[in-house]
Chains A and B, each alone.
Chain A
Amino acid sequence: MNSEEVKIGVYICHCGGNISDKVDVEKVAEDAGNLPDVTVSRTYTFMCADPGQELIVEDIEKHGLNRIVVASCSPSLHETTFRSAVVRGGLNQFLYEHVNIREQVSWVHASTGEATAKATTLVRAAIARVRHHEPLSLIRVGATSRALVLGGGVAGLRAALDLAVYGLPVTIVEKSSRLGGQVAEFGTVFPTGESGAELVRTLVRDVSALEEITVLTGARVTGATGYVGNFTVMVEQERGDGSTEDLEIPAGAVIVATGSRPYEPDMGEFGFGQFPEVVTLPDFIQILNETRADGDLTVNGKMIRRAAFIHCVGSRQIEGIQKPKPGRPLNENCSRICCTATLKAESDLIEKFPGVFVYDLYRDIRTYGRNHEEIYERASRDGVSFLCYEPATPPVVTMAAPDDTGNLLITVKDNLTAGMEIEVAVDLVVLAVGMEPADVGPLAESLKLPAGADGFLQEVHPKLRPVEMAVAGVVLAGTCQSPRDIEESCASASAAAVKVAGLLTRGHVDLEPYVARVNADRCEGTGICLSQCEYDGALKIVESVIDGRAIRKAVVNEALCTGCGACVAVCPTRAIDINGWTLDQFEAMVDAMCADPVEVASD
């Protein structure tokens, strides 16, 4: 390849306007086009779209390109996309270099002139690097034909069932003593009105009937090692006699379905913990389910005649108005399910106890899902009285006067009556609490699973790779990723199962070839590299006799090398490098960055 004439194609993406609104992409392409060995330099609206990719394929065929550079979004999103295009053009996929001019340029720099100059420099550096690229081959390793599903709630059960349909053995690890998670306690669920407990019973019955699925209840993950295709998950399972058993479960992939938990209000938040008649929505649903319709609804021995439901408790929190819990960020997001769940609970209450008068205190209401609007309309028809409050002036819950019509007094400025301060006396206050992520436990630490600022686990990209994590072989299902209802949890669980099936049904996974390689001509067999290597067997010194002389050379075992590069830095003769990430490449990039500065145009 080195003797071949280098012909580089450079493509600068507009990303709609995400890049081109801030970076003068035509100017960047023009600069690149004037560099030696650059045969083609273009811009396109969306390089990731099919026509954008086809530009690359056609140019490779038409102009005989043998190196490709694309400047677009982060490589985490589209490096593999463009590598595929390079392959379709007939080139080795590693003759490709990606430049990130969206997340690290157009989205972070205010000045068009500076952003354009920086993008130009980064493209120059990429061109300098791509010259050194060589064709590489993926490293194929066997994959364990088993998936581990962490969490036995609805999402975990759905994912396990789908995986079993693909013929893959599955192990479900559930920390509690039973399967089904929170849904089993929900009473009836929207929008179908079916029983949550029955829904769970059906899923559990189906899971139990499949020999591909092994269920471990009372089990918790204590750690994990390995990589995509070959994880080992350590599990501690409780035995009936109170002792525990340690298990090691090999798994090719892991589905995280650890779910969420209801937000627990602070002491005194809307009277929570202060007055026993203030309860959370999940607690209220349980009370309603456990109370017979032919009697009175009582809470703590007091009959309920008037109830008030308050929305957005622990959701859509605002700095300066709410305080974060210790060690937790403010939950600024909408928890999405609470509006529909609250309105449904209100109608269920009125249906079961028609004499109870219901107030609904909301900031905004959005029953967003298919058929959810009917639940809002039903609550309206059922006579729920709505009061609308501003975020800055939330309702205040206090003890009512002894002669009042209820135990608690709610004071609220109501937008529906032109901001009039209204007092309502009630016997019960129900707080529509939001969702918080459940603790994923040691798995997150062992496998370095990224979480967002809100604490929910983070997918690679919400649209392009919506259930995959940055850690290859780990995918997400259900509310561990974000607030969502049962339908959406099941949809993501099925998506996660398809991803895992696609990965493991081939029996192998292909790892990127970024491992150490030794230039035997340069290697003098000093063994210094060995002293730096932490991985047994990844590097060794081999002695041979050539022309009567004993020769020592370092040799890499590709299957055991992780490509960390610790050996590279210490070699006195620069005989060792990481495939695709050579010192020559890094130095060429720094040279390009330090070359004549790009002129910064005034904005």
Chain B
Amino acid sequence: MGTDRILILASAACAYPGADAVGQAHLSYPANTFVLRVPSPVVFPESFYYDSFEKGIGGIIVMSCGVECPYEGAYEKLAARIDRVSLGLKEQGINPRRLKLTSICTVCTKSFLKEVADMNSILAYEGAET
């Protein structure tokens, strides 16, 4: 298990069942991953991301439904917010690649595994700061 903890904010309609599908297929990924089920990640204010990093989270993967989000306009608002937070992280000297917005569907098992592997790679080789 990597020492850095990865927080996964998983939309209840798409990404959370997607994470379940990975389990149902008995595929494997590192255990430093913690999935939070959430109706839509648009609920989190910018401060949530800064605070989570401050608390010790190594990386955050926001797994949304993408353009298939069941909530009107939520994905666009979320994407704009993640862009702003990424800029803010960079200004604070924090590696912005520690925050990733992606779309995971209910059967996107390979994408789920790739995102987890990519984030672990970033945490292992790029470091926490810019």
Contact = CB atoms under 8 A, between A and B. Distances in A.
Interface string A213-253: 00000000000000000000000000000000000000000
A581 B73 contact: no
B22 A535 contact: no
A592 to B, nearest CB: 10
A535 B74 CA distance: 11
A568 interface: yes
A102 B36 CA distance: 15
Interface residues of A, number: 50
Interface residues of B, number: 49
Interface string A548-589: 000000000000001111101110000000100101001101
Given A115-B31, A448-B13, A594-B5, A565 B48 contact: no
Interface stretch (A61-69, A117-125, A397-405, A478-486): A117-125
Interface string A122-142: 100100000000000000000
B127 interface: no
Interface in B38-93: 38-40, 42-46, 48, 51-52, 55-57, 65, 68, 70-74, 77, 81
Contacts of B57: 590, 593-594
B99 interface: no
A109 interface: yes
A51 to B, nearest CB: 26
Contacts, number: 139
Given A117-B1, A568-B45, A452 B107 contact: yes
Contacts of A534: 71-74
A470 B73 contact: no
A111 B32 CA distance: 12
A274 B20 CA distance: 44
Contacts of A104: 19-20, 23, 35
Contacts of B55: 590-591, 594
A231 to B, nearest CB: 14
A121 B35 CA distance: 11
Given A532-B77, A583-B45, A586-B48, A564 B39 contact: yes
Given A107-B26, A569-B45, A118 B31 contact: yes
Nearest to A516: B43
B106 interface: yes
Contacts of A452: 107
A109 B28 CA distance: 6
B37 interface: yes
Given A115-B31, A568-B45, A450 B24 contact: no
A581 B38 contact: yes
B96 interface: no
B36 A448 contact: no
Contacts of A109: 28-31
Contacts of A287: none
A95 B22 CA distance: 29
A566 B28 CA distance: 33
Contacts of B38: 565, 581, 586
B108 to A, nearest CB: 10
Nearest to B71: A564
B52 to A, nearest CB: 5
B73 A108 contact: no
B23 A102 contact: yes
Contacts of A591: 55
A74 interface: yes
A111 B1 contact: yes
A514 interface: yes
Contacts of A108: 22-23, 26-29
Contact of A564 (B5, B30, B31, B74): B74
A114 B34 CA distance: 12
Nearest to A103: B23
A324 interface: no
Nearest to B109: A453
Contacts of A569: 42-46, 77, 81
A396 B30 CA distance: 46
B7 interface: yes
Contact of A586 (B14, B23, B36, B46): B36
A125 B57 CA distance: 14
A76 interface: yes
Interface string A401-441: 00000000000000000000000000000000000000000
Contacts of B13: 448, 470
Contacts of B7: 590, 593
A342 B71 CA distance: 48
Interface string B86-125: 0000000000000000000111010000000000000000
A451 interface: yes
Contacts of A35: none
A391 interface: no
A450 B107 contact: yes
A566 B77 contact: yes
Interface string B7-26: 10000011001011011101
B40 A565 contact: yes
B1 A562 contact: no
Given A450-B17, A570-B45, A578-B39, A114 B73 contact: no
Contacts of B71: 534, 562, 564, 566
A293 interface: no
B72 to A, nearest CB: 4
B34 A118 contact: yes
Contacts of A210: none
Given A107-B24, A568-B45, A569-B44, A76 B17 contact: yes
A579 B74 CA distance: 18
A343 to B, nearest CB: 34
A117 B31 contact: yes
Given A107-B26, A564-B71, A593-B57, A583 B34 contact: no
12 contacts: A108-B23, A111-B1, A118-B31, A450-B107, A534-B74, A535-B72, A562-B71, A564-B39, A566-B42, A569-B44, A570-B45, A581-B39
Given A125-B34, A450-B106, 16 more contacts: A76-B17, A102-B23, A103-B20, A107-B23, A110-B28, A448-B13, A450-B107, A534-B74, A564-B74, A565-B39, A566-B77, A569-B42, A581-B39, A587-B48, A590-B36, A594-B55
